[in-house]
Structure 1
Amino acid sequence: MAAPTTRVLAVLELLQAHGRMSGPALAARVGVDVRTLRRYMTTLEDLGIPITTERGRHGAYMLVAGFKLPPMMFTNDEAVALSVGMVAARGLGLAEGAPALESAHAKLARVMPERLKGQVGAITDTVKLEYLPTLSTPASNAALMTLIAAAQSRLRVHLGYLAPGGGKTERDFDPYGLAWRAGAWYAVGMCHLRQDLRSFRVDRVAGVQALEITFQRPQGFDPLAQLLRNIATLPHGRAIEVVLRTDLDTARRSFTPAIGLFEPVDNGVLLRSSASDSDMGWFARQLAGLGYDFDIVMPDILSTELAKLAVRLRALAEAGVNRVHMDESIHSPKQ
């Protein structure tokens, strides 16, 4: 659950933005039941916030007329940027952040002029982002919150982790940072069990506890870049080496970042990767789509798959040429 303070502030911002809201509507917006909402209202009154309650079937909560907290001011570009960011944040599988998003959205609506308010309000309807199915669960949300706090405070944690094939391991871990990729959150940092930089999918964390041990994060550490490097160097079967006849920037733009490691060499760029035999056909198709030459150093099976692909493409091309000639023959005027 998100901290009660976060939800109380979300209630306050919603009341300031809407003026009058029913208990069920307020409770639904912040993700609590009506009884819990009543406790939040008591908390606001204890803080000196003047709340008016309308009783009865169509009752509602309101702030006393004229009461306003000092608003936070944004420029037009800032307001639009924040609104687009909140649209994106809703797709990150972070259920704990929902009350904070509602509160931030209500703040924006409260301080905007009507023209800009309509523009920002339309963003939810007009800006759509494609999201991969999220792997987050209520348990992984709690682990994510703990790991984020530990990374910010630079505190070591004790981590329980469920391996993909089953079985649980325990380790101490320094969370240098977190990254989101392909529908999942990953914690990236130093694993003291393996004495190496490792990445752990948060939805597989089976328990995490902050320790009273601090760590130093490496200067300029990029958790997403390290995550992609870890994925690229995982052993997937046979080792692959291909010399790409191009420069480093072009080579990196030609593939997804997790395909492997790129190393400049005298005659181009060496791509190091790995794949199972069943995936060599896929790897051959990636190479076939390149707009520049390359040399396969290893393995031989990749060269074989590329040759099979060339035979298939040649046959398809010849079949297409034959159809064109046949159509021309059928539709040509007879002498």
Structure 2
Amino acid sequence: MTRPTARVLALLEILQGGGTRTAADLARRLDVDERTVRRYVQHLVDLDVPVRADRGRHGGFRLAPGYRMPPLMLTDDEALAVVLGLVAADRTGLVPSSGAAVAGATAKIRRVLPQRLGGRLDALLDTAGFTAPRSPAAAETDVLLAVAEAARSGRAVAVTHRSADGRRSEHTLHPYALTAHSGRWYVTGADPAAGAERTFRLDRIETVEPLTTTFDVPDAVDPGERLLTALATAPRRHRVSVLVEADVQHLRRRVPQGLAAVEPLPGSRVRLRLQVEELEWVPSLLAWIDRPFVIEEPAALTEHVHALVRRLTESADRGNA
């Protein structure tokens, strides 16, 4: 929190906690000097916030008795959308850094809602449950906002990235867009040094430094499609390619997003491409697709398909014995 406006709002939040606060205490909590605190107090007064200054040994600043922020005039639908949006974003890992930010924002909104509506929202939050676990991967606020700003303005950034095994590397990135997928934020863009597009998880980016270099985003960039293709084709132990007699819509209904890249071909065929660590589960995916197919690579996948057929046949026959 470095901007004066943010600190003025932080001052108001402290004073709303009640009691008289000395200039020294406020200066310490806001990380400014006492003269700056007095200037922030004047900003609040100029906004018609009734801040009282008590002089003397035990003096300080406080809000006038009975002052409350005016109610936030939201309809039931609007209030539900705001509060549940905050809670859902926190649960899915899309809120940067700390869940305390969601708790604080929710408490502030709740405090200024009319009593009837606030009580109904309390009932919902007290009884609502989630089947999905909380995502552990949350990007840092500064990283998320810095990359978003660079993508919007078309400016390159220097990033420090930490891989899954803890190795750090530095890259110059031309960020095209941010995409949220499965509880994580990703950035897709060009890496000029590598001469290729790259995709990074934002929770693995440790530092972001803006550069003066500008760039143009290629035409017809679909951030979601680029991310899903990048996830599906990331290098792994086995590269799989299968020709399937089906239309693209059927494949996209049957294949989870980000699992495989779907390439339309002339006629009623598509090429399914994916990278996997183990081949054993791929025949189950092909069976679920439920369309004729031809394995292009690897040859070892053919035996795994035959092995699945044998296991299914033996199990089915066992039931009829």
**Which whole-Å CA distance do the structure 2 matches of 1:22 and 1:258 have between them?**
54
Could you tell me the percent identity over the aligned residues? 30
In structure 2, the CA distance between the partners of 1:84 and 1:166, relative to structure 1 (3 Å rule), is closer
The alignment covers a number of residue pairs equal to: 302
CA deviation digits over 1:68-113, x for unaligned, max 9? 5566532221111111101022232513684476346523541x43
TM-score (norm 2): 0.76
Q: How many angstroms does 1:280 deviate by? A: 0.8
Write the mapping of 1:84-99 to structure 2, written as runs, cut at 5 A: 84-91=84-91, 92=93, 93-95=95-97, 98-99=100-101
Alignment CA distance shift 1:21-1:41 (3 Å):
farther
Unaligned stretches of 5+ in structure 1? 24-32, 55-60, 323-335
SS of corresponding position for 2:289: coil
Could you tell me which runs of 5 or more consecutive residues in structure 2 were left unpaired when the two chains were aligned. 21-25, 55-60
Q: Which amino acid aligns with 2:210?
A: A
Contact 1:159/1:171 (8 A) holds in 2: yes
Residue in 2 that maps onto 1:106: 108
TM-score norm. by structure 1 comes to: 0.73
Asked if 1:176 is matched to 2:183, the reply is no
- CA RMSD in angstroms, aligned pairs only: 3.8
Say if 1:232 and 1:211 are closer, same or farther in 2 by CA, change over 3 A: same
Q: 1:37-94, CA deviations, whole angstroms, 9 ceiling, x for partnerless residues? A: 697986753322334699xxxxxx9742464556653222111111110102223251
Aligned-residue offset at 1:121: 2.2
Q: Deviations over 1:122-171 (max 9, x none)?
A: 3323333424542347xx44433322332343321112333445654333
Matching residue of 1:285? 284
Alpha carbons of structure 1 residues 116 and 221: separation in structure 2 relative to 1, 3 Å:
farther
Matched, 1:126 2:122: no
Answer yes or no: is 1:45 the counterpart of 2:41.
yes
The whole-number CA distance in structure 1 between the counterparts of 2:313 and 2:79 is 55
Deviations 1:237-269 (A, max 9, x none): 343222333321121121112122212331332
Q: Describe the SS at the equivalent of 1:289.
A: helix
Separation in 1 of the partners of 2:122 and 2:27?
27
Q: 1:313 to 1:101 in 2, by over 3 A?
A: same
Partner of 2:317: 318
Residue in 1 that maps onto 2:274:
273
Letter in structure 1 aligned against 2:41: E
Q: Give the aligned partner of residue 77 of structure 1.
A: 77
Q: Secondary structure at the match of 2:258?
A: helix
Aligned with residue 36 of structure 1, among 21, 24, 29: 29
How much has 1:310 moved relative to structure 2? 1.3
Q: For the residues of structure 2 that align with 1:41 and 1:321, how far apart are their CA atoms?
A: 83
Q: Secondary structure at the match of 1:157?
A: strand
Residues in 1 aligned to 2:300 and 2:167: alpha-carbon distance in whole angstroms? 34
Q: Distance in 2 between matches of 1:312 and 1:115?
A: 61
Q: CA deviation at 1:119?
A: 2.1
Q: Which residue identity is paired with 1:271?
A: L
Alignment correspondent of 1:248: 248
